[in-house]
Amino acid sequence: EPEVTQTPSHQVTQMGQEVILRCVPISNHLYFYWYRQILGQKVEFLVSFYNNEISEKSEIFDDQFSVERPDGSNFTLKIRSTKLEDSAMYFCASSAKETQYFGPGTRLLVL
């Protein structure tokens, strides 16, 4: 069964550094998403992406964040200058329509 994959599974970085989180969505899906979950808290929507552009973004998704689909298979989330409060699990998801399938997540720790 096709699934969403994410790399790396864990990332530790210093405050102020740039990180790129990578995702490979399910191949015939057209909608892509990033969510995050701070430890012990809700899953929060960050951004949705369709037809090579952002469809919607939350207030969390400020200028420090960007997304890109650099080729036909990858979908990336970049955080330009990480802050301590960016420490969280980041989930990529993809969908053909309403049902979103999530990857296993990247646990980001900012020191």
Partner 1 sequence: SQQGEEDPQALSIQEGENATMNCSYKTSINNLQWYRQNSGRGLVHLILIRSNEREKHSGRLRVTLDTSKKSSSLLITASRAADTASYFCATDATSGTYKYIFGTGTRLKVLA
103 binds partner 1 (CB under 8 A): yes
44 binds partner 1 (CB under 8 A): yes
Residue closer to partner 1 by CB (options 64, 102) is 102
* Region for residue 27 given its phi and psi (left: phi exceeds 0; alpha: psi -120 to 50; beta: otherwise): alpha
48 binds partner 1 (CB under 8 A): yes
Strands 5-7 and 19-24: antiparallel
SS3 101: strand
How far, in Å, are 1, 36, 65, 105 from residue 46 at the CA level? 26, 7, 9, 14
Stretch that binds partner 1, among 11-19, 20-28, 73-81, 90-98 (CB under 8 A): 90-98
Residues lying near partner 1 in the complex (CB under 8 A) are found at 31, 33, 35, 42-45, 48, 55-56, 58, 89, 91, 93, 95, 97-105, 107
